[in-house]
Structures are given as structure tokens and as C-alpha cells.
């Protein structure tokens, strides 16, 4: 299996941490985001290519494999990381709040996975890693839209894993808890203190905590793990 990884939502936060971790490990990285951005690789012997892509646009996404073939960077590792929030109590949640989150966090995963799956099946090797959320496992007030999309990834992961396992393709999800990223930067110091009280390890996580697990699942060491949703949350949600 080649060492080329495609990562959505790679311009910042968890996605950027994953991209940098794979780069350091010697993988060629192709990362996408809705806006233009540029990587700063630490391992110059591996390629890091950034592309602007709207994963909710099937018209844009359908041309992606050909673009990557043209630059000889067709991946066998797909990491569906891109996600947005539009938090609101359900009574006040607008149709757009719902549609935008579902379109990016769930339909975007479908769109990206769909255009690469034939290549993975033909190659008889691949890794698909979906970045879910602890909110999809335990729910969170004000996040009915976000929690619904992330919960759906568990069913997506298990079902697809059963379909493609015979082709040496693993499909797993990682469910981060509260990680120090832009998505938690809005929290006040007081809110963070209260939040940490509910986490057994008494701290927020870092992007590297998610990235290292993604690297393991993508490697040969993770070849016998599939259909799983693995929580990385400091013990916030135990089941």
C-alpha cells in the first residue's frame, strides 16, 4: 500500500496536526480546506500539497481523483476530518443550522469516500479514518445537528467496514473529546475549569493525541482494527 494520505479540513486544528504527523512519519500528504492555505512541512523529503476544495460540492469532488492522478498522488489512506459547528438550542435551530452541519459533517464524508472507494477496492488495500466526536456518542445540548451527524458516522463506519474488509480495507472512526483547537478557543477560562472537572484526566486534549492514533490506524500495525469508533477524550465518556 502506498504512503499517500488525503486529509480534509487540513488547514488548522486536528486536521493540521494529522497532516504534520503524517509528514514527519514520511507520508506524502494532500490536504484540503474550503479556503486557500499552505503547509509548512518539517520533513522536506515528503510531499505536502494543499488544495482548495468544497467537500459539499459533488461537482468539485468528482474531479478530485483525476487531479491527484495527474500529480501522481492518488491516496490509499483517506481521513475525513472536515467539520463545522452551528450550535443552537433545538427550539431555535434554523433549517440552515441543520443543513449546513449535516452537509459538511456527514454528506461531505460520503462525497469524499465515494470518489475514492473504487480505487481502494481495485488496489485491494486502504485505510479510511473518519474523525467523529464524543458529542456523537453522548450528545451535547445545543448540538443536536452536530451530534446527529457525528453519531451517523458510527453506522457509516461499521457498515462500510463490513462491505470492504475482504478487500484489505479498514474503516474506523476516532471520536475526540475536548481538544485544544479553534473549536474550543471560544471557551472562557472559567468554562474550561468547569469542563475539565468532568474529565477524569483533568485536562483538555491536544491535536497530536488524535494524530498519533490516526497514524497508528493507517499503518501496518493497525491492519487488524476495523469497524471501530475509538474515543480519545481523557475518559469523558466511558461505555
DSSP secondary structure code for residue 220 in this structure: G
pLDDT for position 182: 64
| Confidence grade of residue 1 (pLDDT, cut at 50, 70, 90) | confident
Percentage with pLDDT > 90 across the chain? 92
Q: Does residue 234 carry a pLDDT above 80?
A: yes
pLDDT for position 89: 98
Class of the domain covering 4-232:
alpha beta
For the chain, what is the total number of helices (H) and then of strands (E)?
9, 7
Domain boundaries, the chain: 4-232
Residue with cell 494532500: 30
What is the distance between the alpha carbons of residues 77 and 106, in angstroms, rounded to a whole number?
19
The 10s digit of each residue's pLDDT in 183-193 is 566 677 888 88
146 carries an active-site annotation: yes
Which three cell numbers mark 8?
480534509
The 10s digit of each residue's pLDDT in 29-62 is 999 999 999 999 999 999 999 999 999 999 999 9
CA distances from 185 to 16, 83, 178, 189 (A): 16, 16, 11, 10
Catalytic, out of 27, 146, 216, 224: 146
**Half-sphere exposure in the Cβ direction for 152 (13 Å, CA):** 16
pLDDT for position 194: 87
pLDDT for position 239: 72
Q: Which helix (H) or strand (E) holds 55?
A: none
Residue with cell 512519519: 25
Amino acid at each position: 500500500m502506498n504512503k499517500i494520505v488525503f486529509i480534509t479540513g487540513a488547514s488548522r486544528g486536528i486536521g493540521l496536526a494529522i497532516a504534520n504527523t503524517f509528514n514527519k512519519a514520511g507520508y506524502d500528504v494532500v490536504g484540503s480546506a474550503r479556503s486557500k492555505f499552505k503547509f509548512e512541512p518539517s520533513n522536506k523529503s515528503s510531499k505536502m500539497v494543499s488544495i482548495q476544495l468544497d467537500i459539499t460540492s459533488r461537482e468539485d469532488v468528482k474531479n478530485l481523483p483525476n487531479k491527484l492522478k495527474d500529480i501522481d498522488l492518488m491516496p490509499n489512506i483517506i481521513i475525513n476530518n472536515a467539520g463545522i459547528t452551528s450550535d443552537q438550542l433545538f427550539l431555535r435551530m434554523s433549517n440552515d443550522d441543520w443543513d449546513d452541519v449535516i452537509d459538511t459533517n456527514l454528506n461531505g464524508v460520503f462525497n469524499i469516500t465515494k470518489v475514492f472507494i473504487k480505487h481502494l477496492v481495485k488496489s485491494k488495500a486502504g485505510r479510511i479514518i473518519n474523525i467523529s466526536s464524543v458529542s456523537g456518542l453522548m450528545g451535547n445540548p445545543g448540538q443536536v445537528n452536530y451530534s446527529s451527524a457525528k453519531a451517523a458516522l458510527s453506522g457509516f463506519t461499521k457498515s462500510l467496514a463490513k462491505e470492504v474488509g475482504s478487500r484489505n480495507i479498514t474503516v474506523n472512526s476516532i471520536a475526540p473529546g475536548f481538544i485544544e483547537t479553534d473549536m474550543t478557543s471560544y471557551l472562557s477560562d472559567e468554562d474550561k475549569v468547569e469542563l475539565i472537572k468532568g474529565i477524569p484526566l483533568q485536562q483538555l486534549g491536544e491535536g497530536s493525541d488524535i494524530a498519533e492514533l490516526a497514524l497508528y490506524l493507517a499503518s501496518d500495525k493497525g491492519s487488524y482494527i476495523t469497524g471501530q469508533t475509538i474515543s480519545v477524550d481523557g475518559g469523558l465518556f466511558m461505555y
